[in-house]
Structure 1
Amino acid sequence: MPIKRNGLGKGLDSLIPDKNVKTEIESKAPDEKAAKSKETQIVKTEIIEPENKTGELLLNINEVEPNRSQPRKEFDEDALLELADSLRQYGILQPLIVQRKKGYHEIIAGERRWRAAKLAGLKEVPVIIKEYSPQEVVEISLIENIQRENLNPIEEAVAFKRLLEEFNLKQDEVAERVSKSRTAVTNSMRLLKLNDKVQQMIIDDMISTGHARALLAIDNKEQQYTIATKIFDEKLSVRETEKLVKSLKNPKMPVEKEKIEHVFVYDDLVDKMKNIMGTKVNINAKANGKGKIEIEYYSEEELERIYDLIMTISQ
C-alpha cells in the first residue's frame, strides 16, 4: 500500500487534499412523537479515496521496478556508490516518476536514484504516480537521460530509432522532442550501421564517436572492427583515423609503383638526351604515360645553343 508522505507544518493535505469528505444528511424520526414535534437530523460522514493519486508518496522500494524498455542500459557502478553515500546522508531529494502496473509500480524517470537507494539500504522511495502512453514513457526516459548526459551514444541512437520505427515519428519530430537538430539525430542513428563489436567498443569508451563516424566510410563490417582495434591499440587520433580510412578507400600505392616503373623505363632515354643536349636532362613521369621533360641551362648563350640544337634536330 502507498504510504502518504509527511509534509512540513500542516502538510500538503492543507493545500492539496488526497481525500474527499462526503457529507450526507439523512432524516430520521425516532418515534411518532418526535416526528410530530421536530425531525431529528443525523449527519453521516464517508471518506472517499480518489481513484488516481498523483501527489508525492512514499512507496516500499520493493514495490518499484525499472522499466525494462527504457533507453539506458549501462550504469557507472562507482557513480552509483557515490550517489548511495549521498542518499544515506540526505535522502532522495527528487521523487521518482512512476506509473501503476499490475502488482507493482514501473519507473518512468529516476532509475539511477532507485538503484542507488537500494545500495544505500533505503526501505522506501518518494514517488509521483503518473499515467503515460507507451510513446510518452520512451520520450520522457530519453529526454531525462539526454538532459543528464547519462546515455552512451549507442543507447541514444537506439532510442531515436525506436521513436522513429515503433511510433512512426519523423526525424524532425524526434529532433524537436529531444531538443536536438535533425542532423544530430541522423548522425546518431548512423552509428547503428557499424559492426556490433565496434558499437560495443563505443559503449566501453574504447573509441570515440569521432572515430566511429570516420569508420562509417568503410562498408565492410569486419574491416571496421579491424581498424577500430588498430585505433585502440595504437591510440590513433580522429584525424589520423580519417587519414587511414581515406588511404584505404583511395589507395595510392599502385600509382606510386607505376611512377617508379616509369622512371626505370626512361633512364636510358635520359642518358641519351643528356649526351645530345650536353646538359642536365630530367624526365618527370606521371600516371597514364604522362609527364614532362626538363632541360637545364646556365646562361643565355647556352639557352640559344640548346635552341639551335633542337631546331637542327627537328629539320
Structure 2
Amino acid sequence: MANKKKPTGLGKGIEALFQDNNVDTSKEDVIDIKVSEIKPNPYQPRHRFDEKALQDLAVSIKNSGVFQPIIVRQPDPEVDSYELLTGERRLRASKIAKQATIPAIVRDATEEQMMEIAVMENLQREDLTTLEEAEAYNMLMTRLDLTQAQVASRLGKSRPYIANYLRILGLPSEVKDLLEDNKLSMGQARTLLSVNNKQDLIKLAKKSVAESMTVRQLEQAAAKINGKKGAKKKKAPRKSPFVRESEGQLQEKFGTQVSIVNSSRKKGKGKIEIEYGSVDDLNRLLEMFGVNLD
C-alpha cells in the first residue's frame, strides 16, 4: 500500500512528464510505493541490462537508499497498482536489494506518452543497442501510426537517421543477433544491407566479426560479392525516375528493400515486391499493413 499523497504537476504534456534528471522535482510530492505494486513499462525498448552495474547500484541503495524518486502512473486511482514511466534501473536494483518500498512521483500519462517516455529516456542515456534503437523507432511508427518524419521530429533526429535504423530490421535474424551482442556496428550493418543474396550477407557478417573487418573492408567485400552475382544475371531494364522515386519512398516507409517491377507483357501492369529478412521482420510488415493473424 502506498503512503498516499495528492500528486501535482500533471497533465502538461510529454515535456512535463519527462522530468527526471533534468528538472528539480523537489516541489512535487514524493510517496513511498511498494515495489511489488509497480509494473514495468510495457514499452521499454531495452532488452538487456548490465547485471554488474545493477548489483553495484543495489549495494548503494541498500546502504544509502534511493536518492532520486522514480516516476510512475496510476491507471486506476482506486487500485494500488502502478506502471513505471522512468527509473527502470533504480526499480530493478531496489528489487535486488530486497527493498520493500521505493520513493516515487505519480504523474498522469497516456499510453502514447508512456511509449515516448520509454524511448526518450533510453535515447538520452544512450542505453540502447543498435537493434533496440531500430525496434524502438518501429514501435513508435506502428503503434502511434506515425511517419518517419514525425518520429524524427518528435525525437530531434533527422529523417534519414530514422530511415537507416529501420532498414536494419530487414537483416536476417543471424545478423541481428550479432548486432544485439554489439559485435557489429551500425556502419557495418548498413554496409551488409547492400549485399543482395541473403546467404552471402550472413556469411560476410560472420566473416566481418571473425576478422574484425573495418567498414571500408566490408564495403569492398560486399561490392566484390555483388559483382560476381551480378555478372551471372541478365541486365535489368532501366527504370524511370518516377519508379525509382516511388521505390525510395516505399523503402523509407517500410524500412526494407522494395522493388516495383513492370510487366513485360501488358503495359501498365506489374507488381511490388517487399523483402523481409526474418519471421519477426515479416510480422513487423504485416502489422504495418494492419494484418492481425492472432
Q: What's 1:2 paired with?
A: 2
Retained in 2: the 8 A contact 1:97–1:129?
yes
**Equivalent pairs, count:** 209
Once residues 171 and 197 of structure 2 are traced to their aligned partners in structure 1, the CA distance between those partners, rounded to angstroms, is 9
Once residues 195 and 206 of structure 2 are traced to their aligned partners in structure 1, the CA distance between those partners, rounded to angstroms, is 14
| TM superposition score normalised by structure 2 | 0.66
Q: What's 2:245 paired with?
A: none
How far is 1:252 from its partner?
10
Q: Larger Cα Rg: Structure 1 or Structure 2?
A: 1
Q: What SS class does the counterpart of residue 206 from structure 1 fall into?
A: coil
Q: Which amino acid aligns with 1:2?
A: A
How far is 1:161 from its partner?
1.0
How far is 1:85 from its partner?
2.3
Retained in 1: the 8 A contact 2:130–2:185?
no
Once residues 178 and 89 of structure 1 are traced to their aligned partners in structure 2, the CA distance between those partners, rounded to angstroms, is 37
Runs of 4+ in 1 over 6 A off after TM superposition: none
The equivalences for 1:22-37 within 5 A come to none
Retained in 1: the 8 A contact 2:191–2:222?
yes
Q: What's 1:288 paired with?
A: none
How far is 1:82 from its partner?
2.0
Q: What SS class does the counterpart of residue 197 from structure 1 fall into?
A: helix
Q: What's 2:246 paired with?
A: none
Once residues 120 and 148 of structure 2 are traced to their aligned partners in structure 1, the CA distance between those partners, rounded to angstroms, is 15
The equivalences for 1:259-274 within 5 A come to none
1:140 counterpart = 2:117: yes
Question: Of 192, 205, 208, which aligns to 2:185?
Answer: 208
Retained in 2: the 8 A contact 1:195–1:222?
no
How far is 1:149 from its partner?
0.8
Once residues 253 and 158 of structure 1 are traced to their aligned partners in structure 2, the CA distance between those partners, rounded to angstroms, is 32
1:185 counterpart = 2:162: yes
Question: Of 15, 23, 37, which aligns to 1:63?
Answer: 37
The farther-off stretch of 167-176 and 97-106 is 97-106
Q: What's 1:176 paired with?
A: 153
Once residues 46 and 85 of structure 2 are traced to their aligned partners in structure 1, the CA distance between those partners, rounded to angstroms, is 12
Q: RMSD over aligned Cα, in angstroms? A: 2.4
Please list every run of 5 or more consecutive structure 2 residues that lacks an aligned counterpart in the other structure.
9-27, 232-294
> CA 1:63/1:252 → structure 2, altered by over 3 Å: closer, same or farther?
closer
Once residues 234 and 114 of structure 1 are traced to their aligned partners in structure 2, the CA distance between those partners, rounded to angstroms, is 40
The equivalences for 1:16-165 within 5 A come to 55-101=29-75, 104-165=81-142
How far is 1:86 from its partner?
2.4
CA offsets 1:15-72 (integer angstroms, 9 cap, x no match): x8xxxxxxxxxxxxxxxxxxxxxxxxxxxxxxxxxxxxx7321111111121233212
Q: What percent identity do the matched residue pairs reach?
A: 36
Once residues 230 and 92 of structure 2 are traced to their aligned partners in structure 1, the CA distance between those partners, rounded to angstroms, is 55
How far is 1:253 from its partner?
12
Choose between structure 1 and 2: higher strand proportion.
1
> CA 1:167/1:56 → structure 2, altered by over 3 Å: closer, same or farther?
same
Q: What SS class does the counterpart of residue 228 from structure 2 fall into?
A: coil
CA offsets 1:222-272 (integer angstroms, 9 cap, x no match): 322211111111121221111111111123998xxxxxxxxxxxxxxxxxx
Q: What SS class does the counterpart of residue 97 from structure 1 fall into?
A: strand
How far is 1:101 from its partner?
4.0
CA offsets 1:105-141 (integer angstroms, 9 cap, x no match): 1111111111111112222111111221111111011
Once residues 136 and 173 of structure 1 are traced to their aligned partners in structure 2, the CA distance between those partners, rounded to angstroms, is 15
Once residues 41 and 130 of structure 2 are traced to their aligned partners in structure 1, the CA distance between those partners, rounded to angstroms, is 20
1:247 counterpart = 2:236: no
Retained in 1: the 8 A contact 2:43–2:114?
no
Once residues 182 and 72 of structure 1 are traced to their aligned partners in structure 2, the CA distance between those partners, rounded to angstroms, is 22
Retained in 2: the 8 A contact 1:97–1:107?
yes
> CA 1:250/1:116 → structure 2, altered by over 3 Å: closer, same or farther?
same
Once residues 111 and 197 of structure 2 are traced to their aligned partners in structure 1, the CA distance between those partners, rounded to angstroms, is 36
The equivalences for 1:288-299 within 5 A come to none
| TM superposition score normalised by structure 1 | 0.61
Structure with the bigger RCO (C-alpha within 8 Å, sep 6+) is 2
